[in-house]
Structure 1
Amino acid sequence: MDALMRVLDEATVAQLGGDDVALALDDVKAVIRLMRFGEAQMPAENHIDLGTPLGKAYALPARVGGKYNAAGVKWTAHRPQRPDALPAALALTLINHADSGIPRGLLASGALTAARTAAVSALALQLAAPRAVKRVLLLGAGLHAQTHLRMLQQLFPQLDQIGVWNRSPEKLSAFNNVQIELDLAHALSQPYDAVLTCTSAAQPIVAASAVRPGRLIVQVGYHEVSFAAIKASNQVVVDAWGDFAERSAKSLFQMYRAGEFHPQEVAADLATLLLDGWRANADDSVYFSSFGLNVFDIALAARVLQAAEHHHLGNLQSLFSGGMHDY
C-alpha cells in the first residue's frame, strides 16, 4: 500500500455528502453499536492555548472499526477574537487506516462537525422526546442552527411548525418556511414540543421557566441552559459521559464540577436510547446535553474518504516522495 494521503477541501467534502445529515445519522447509529461491542474508542481530548485572546486548539483522537477501519484525530482551533474573515472555529480531521496506521486523508471538517451534531439532535428528537414532536423551536442563526434547520426539514417533514429565534433578528433573513420569533421569553412560553439551542451564548439564556412536562430541551452550545433549568428537568440524558466532564464548558459539566449534579442522575445516553430502548414518560421534562463525540467525526470523515477514493476526488500527496497528483 502506497503512503499517499488524500486532501479534501470544504467543497469536495460537501460534494461527497459530508454535510448530509441523513448519512451522518446512519454513521452515528453504526458507531454507537461499535462502541457497545468495543470496536470503537475515544480517549480524552487535549488542548493548548493559542497566542490570541481566548483562543484554544483541541486535539480529539478516536478509533472506529467495522467498515470504517479508521484511526484519526480532529484538530480544531477556536478563535473567538480573530483578525480575519475566516470562521471562528477551523477544523481539520486526519485519518489513518486503523489496521496498518498508514495515513489515509486530511479533510476540512467544519461541515462534518455540523452534520454530526445535527444527526445526534435528530436521534434525541426521535428517541428521547417524551411525546411525538410536532413543533420545534430553534435558537440561533449560525452554521449549527442552519444545519439543524436542514435536518428538521429533511428528517422531520411531518412537523407542524418550526420557530426560530436569534439574538440578532436580522440574521434570520435567510431562514425560509419558519416562524420567526422576536422575543425569546414569549417563544419559550409557546407550546413547542422541543427546543434546540444552537447559539454561542456565553451565559445561560434558557431558564427553569422553559422546562415543562412533555418538552425536550437539546443543548448544542456551551452554556445556554441554566443550572436551574437542568435541575427542573426530571430526566437528564447525555450523548455520553466521560473524562471530558472534568473540563468541558458545557452547562451540565460545569454543574457537575460545582457539585450540583452527579453522574448517577443521568437517566440515559445514546447507547441506552438506541440499543436498550429507554424512553421517557409522556409527562417527563427531558434535558439532553450534546457534548459532541469525536468518535462520530472520525467515522464521518472515513466514510467521505471512501467516497473520495471511489470517485477519484481530492489531491493525493505522497508523504515520502513529495509528489502531488490531482484527480
Structure 2
Amino acid sequence: MSDEGFLYLPDGALEALGIAPGEVADAIEKALIQKSEGALHTTPKSALLPGDARYMMSTLAVGNAEDLTVLKQVSVCPENPGRGLPAINGAIMALDAQTGLLRAILGANWITGARTAALSAVAARRLANPASKSVAFVGAGVQASTHLAAFMELFPLEEVRVYGRGAANADRLCAEAKAKGLAARRAATPQEALEGVDLVVTSVTLDYAIAPFLDAGWLKPGAFAAITDLGIPWHQESLKAFGQAVIDEREQEAASERKMIPPEIVGADLTELVSGAKPLRYDPARPSCFAFRGIALGDYAATALVLERAQAAGAGQRVTA
C-alpha cells in the first residue's frame, strides 16, 4: 500500500454507479481485443469443490494498457440463504501492474453478476437472433436476474419462462420480469421451458451430483443458449444438436479435467469470436450455444471499468495506514 492508501468499493457502491450491462459487455470486448494483441495476460480460472455443493474460485489478469493487476476470489455457498446471507460472496484486489502496490479493494458480488451476464451478451450479440422475443431461465438466482437485464437491453423481449427447483426464486424472477413489462410464467417441466423460445439461460447450482435433465434437441432452429453452469444440467450427448458452440477460453477449457460440452462441437472461444479469427454469426437454421466457466478477462474488464467510473464520481472510501 502506498502513502495514498487504497480505495474501498463495496458492492453497494459499485451498484450505485449505474453502469449498464451493455457497457460491461463493451469493456469485455475491448479487453478481448487487447488480449488478442498481447496487451492483456490471464491465467486459467482456479476452482475447488470442497463439498456441500460449495464452489471456490479465483481469477488473475494483468493488463498493460491500464497498468492494472486484478485478482478475484469468490465462494458459492448454497447454504448461505438459510443463514440470511447471499449465496455468492468474495472480494477483488486491484493493484498497480508496474509496482505491485494496492490500488483498490472491491466487493466481488456485483462484478461477478454483471460480468457473467455481459459475457453472455458478447456471444449473444453475434449468435442470437436480433429479433428474439422470448427467453427461458433454468435456475432463478442472481445470474437469471442479471441476464434478464442484459438481454432486455439487447433484444425486444416480450415473454419470460422460468423453471427452477425453488418456488420462491422462480416466483421472484417472474415478478421481476412482470415489473419490467414482460409476460412471465413458471414452466411445469424443463421441456415446456425450452421448446419454442428464442433464448435460454441455464444457471443451476454448480454440483456435479445433479442428474442431467435438459435436452438440446428441444430447442428450435436459431435458438441461443447461454450455459453458465458448466453444462451440468444438460445431457451431454444432446449438446451435439448445437450447430455452433462457443466457449469462453480454449486454454482454460483444455486445463479443466471435466469439459463443459463435447470438445468436437466447439467452433471458437470469445477471443477468436470478437477478434474476427473465427467470425461465427447467427444461423437461423441451427441452435447455437455459449458455454463458459467465467474468465479472468471478464473480471479484469469489469474492474477496470468500475474503477474508472468510481474515481470520476468520487465514489468509495479512501483507506490509509
| TM-score in terms of structure 1 length | 0.83
Q: Are positions 1:63 and 2:53 aligned together? A: no
Q: Check the 8 A contact 2:116/2:298 in 1, yes or no.
A: no
Q: Which residue of the partner structure matches residue 256 of structure 1?
A: none
* Residues 199 and 57 (structure 1), Cα distance of their counterparts in 2 relative to 1, 3 Å cut: closer
Q: Check the 8 A contact 2:24/2:305 in 1, yes or no.
A: no
CA-to-partner distance for each residue in 1:154-199, whole Å, 9 max, x for gaps? 332x23433333333343243222321322222222x212211123
What are the residue-to-residue correspondences of 1:31-50 with 2, within 5 Å?
A: 31-47=31-47
* Residues 167 and 249 (structure 1), Cα distance of their counterparts in 2 relative to 1, 3 Å cut: farther
What are the residue-to-residue correspondences of 1:50-89 with 2, within 5 Å?
A: 53-66=52-65, 68-82=66-80, 84-89=83-88
- Per-residue deviation at 1:289? 0.5
**Aligned equivalents of 1:229 and 1:21: distance in 2?**
31
Larger displacement relative to structure 2 (159-168 or 91-100): 159-168
1:209 to 194, 217, 225: 217
* Residues 169 and 229 (structure 1), Cα distance of their counterparts in 2 relative to 1, 3 Å cut: same
1:187 to 187, 193, 198: 193
Letter in 1 for 2:204: T
- Per-residue deviation at 1:39? 0.9
Q: Check the 8 A contact 2:199/2:223 in 1, yes or no.
A: yes
What are the residue-to-residue correspondences of 1:1-327 with 2, within 5 Å?
A: 2-17=3-18, 20-47=20-47, 53-66=52-65, 68-82=66-80, 84-129=83-128, 132-156=131-155, 158-171=156-169, 172-173=171-172, 174-175=175-176, 176=178, 177-183=182-188, 184-189=190-195, 191-200=196-205, 202-222=210-230, 223-247=232-256, 251-252=260-261, 261-262=262-263, 265-276=265-276, 277-318=279-320, 322=321
**Aligned equivalents of 1:2 and 1:303: distance in 2?**
24
* Residues 120 and 307 (structure 1), Cα distance of their counterparts in 2 relative to 1, 3 Å cut: same
Q: Check the 8 A contact 1:125/1:133 in 2, yes or no.
A: no
SS in structure 2 of the partner of residue 282 of structure 1? coil
- Per-residue deviation at 1:267? 1.1
**Aligned equivalents of 2:70 and 2:319: distance in 1?**
17
- Per-residue deviation at 1:125? 2.0
**Residue ranges of structure 2 left out of the alignment (5+ in a row):** none
**Aligned equivalents of 1:56 and 1:193: distance in 2?**
30
Q: How many residues align?
A: 305
* Residues 133 and 57 (structure 1), Cα distance of their counterparts in 2 relative to 1, 3 Å cut: same
Identity of matched residues, %: 24
Q: Which residue of the partner structure matches residue 258 of structure 1?
A: none
Letter in 1 for 2:298: F
CA-to-partner distance for each residue in 1:107-157, whole Å, 9 max, x for gaps? 00111111111112122222012674232222222111011111122332x
Larger displacement relative to structure 2 (293-302 or 210-219): 210-219
- Per-residue deviation at 1:249? 5.9
Q: Check the 8 A contact 1:29/1:274 in 2, yes or no.
A: yes
